[in-house]
Structure 1
Amino acid sequence: WKPQYNEHLALGYLKALEQTGEVCKIWPPHCILGSKGWAISEVLIKSLFSWCISENKHYELFYKGTHQATEHYSIFKAAVEYEDADETKLNIKLLDKLDAFDQIIIMGEAADYCVVNSLHDMLKARPDLVEKTILFTDCMSWIDPHNERAEYMYEEARRQGVRFMISGDFNNY
């Protein structure tokens, strides 16, 4: 195997992953900025637009995965943070925004990678957010439904107090 980009960083990257208990996962090209895989689905964007009009509010997008030398599963930080690359570091601005909300609802694609790493990083950086965090289990999909690492991380989040529910039960909450 030979990295396509940043060959000079590859060995250090692998060692940094190993130090945090992570492994290197080789992915096919996916979620490439500007591609269909990266885009918000048409159904969701229409719902967001309708909500913006009815509530006279707006939504804000946060980007991840813009540094070629590291995976960036979590919305909050890259798998490996680089000193000279702010886009890989913990996103304090986003965490500060979440502090202002009464509830934080988590959902998304790749329950066993992006979603679980985002939840883990958020709770590690701001454990006080656990009280207002709800995870919609029916609004995410798994790459590997037997991912033991992800299952363990979700169990830890449950123990800390994150509420897990299906989206239809939210109205009754």
Structure 2
Amino acid sequence: MDKTALLIIDVQYDFLPPSGSLAVPNGQDILPVINDLLDENKYDWPVIVASQDYHPRGHISFASTHPPHKPFEPLLVRDARGTTYQQTLWPDHCIQGTRGTEIEENIKRKLGQWGRKVRLARKGTHMKLEAYSAFDGDAYPGEQKLPSEGPLSTYLRKRGIEKVVIVGLATDFCVLQTALSAISASFDTLILGPAVRGISPEDTDKALVKIRNLGGKVIDQDEIDWETGLNRWFDL
């Protein structure tokens, strides 16, 4: 596993039922699996990346930024790069300084036990830029930004990483885009099915098909022997 990194995508309170402002249906079901993956007695990840939506108020993706439009409506917007695209508008979520932006407490506690092996990637920090992929985030070890180390893909390469295991929320948005970024950067990419959940069942199925078609691997629930564990799926 010395060449395999675990990427934990957006396991934050605003994406978790029952009270998250943009709760992913059944999102809480992935927590036991991710907790198991963070058990130091079972696994020895050389690198763990936890991504975090970290929006300023008035973010370009918020419906409240574009009155009178409502959450989940599509809207053509122009971002800070001058790109015009169709944005799905969201309820306000993961606003800096709110509980909703925090990583779920048990996951956060377990991450703390891994020390300097953990890297935090905050994304969506620019008011006028959308960012779904963890590879689009600013990378922090803990809370200290290291701009000299470059993007997440560069950091992973420096650490000798060749394969990424992706878990988290939501399959049809941030998990999908993180997987596409990883595949584009030539990392072997594995999605652990029991540890991801999506917003729309139809779009989740499409996302997993797309990942498979582009060369990623998706491990389904029925492919796992929970008695023998998950390690065999992570070996290069």
TM-score (norm. length: structure 2): 0.51
Q: How many matched pairs?
A: 141
> In the alignment, which of 88, 96, 117 is matched to residue 154 of structure 2?
96
**What stretches of structure 1 move > 6 A for 4+ residues in a row?**
none
Give the drift of 1:102: 4.2
> In the alignment, which of 191, 195, 215 is matched to residue 135 of structure 1?
191
Asked if structure 1 preserves the Cα contact closer than 8 Å seen for 2:124 and 2:130, the reply is yes
Give the drift of 1:115: 0.9
Q: Which amino acid aligns with 1:39?
A: E
Asked if structure 1 preserves the Cα contact closer than 8 Å seen for 2:172 and 2:200, the reply is yes
* Alignment RMSD (CA, Å): 3.0
Q: What residue number does 2:65 align with?
A: 4
Asked if structure 1 preserves the Cα contact closer than 8 Å seen for 2:171 and 2:207, the reply is no
Distance 1:60 1:77, change over 3 A: closer
Match of 1:137, SS state, is strand
- Tell me if 1:158 matches 2:221: no
Asked if structure 2 preserves the Cα contact closer than 8 Å seen for 1:98 and 1:104, the reply is no
Gap regions ≥5 residues in structure 1: 18-22, 79-90
Identity %: 24
Asked if structure 2 preserves the Cα contact closer than 8 Å seen for 1:65 and 1:72, the reply is yes
Once the two structures are superposed, residues 116-158 of structure 1 have per-residue CA deviations (whole angstroms, 9 ceiling, x without a partner) of: 112112323x1x21x3x211112122111122xx544432321
Gap regions ≥5 residues in structure 2: 1-62, 67-75, 138-148
Q: Which amino acid aligns with 1:45?
A: K
Q: Which amino acid aligns with 2:133?
A: S
Distance 1:35 1:11, change over 3 A: closer
Taking the TM superposition and a 5 Å limit, the aligned residue runs for 1:64-75 are: 64-75=123-134
The structure carrying a bigger strand percent of its residues is 2
Q: What residue number does 1:20 align with?
A: none
Q: What residue number does 2:170 align with?
A: 110
TM-score (norm. length: structure 1): 0.67
- Tell me if 1:43 matches 2:103: no
Give the drift of 1:64: 0.5
> In the alignment, which of 83, 86, 89 is matched to residue 26 of structure 1?
89
Asked if structure 2 preserves the Cα contact closer than 8 Å seen for 1:120 and 1:153, the reply is no
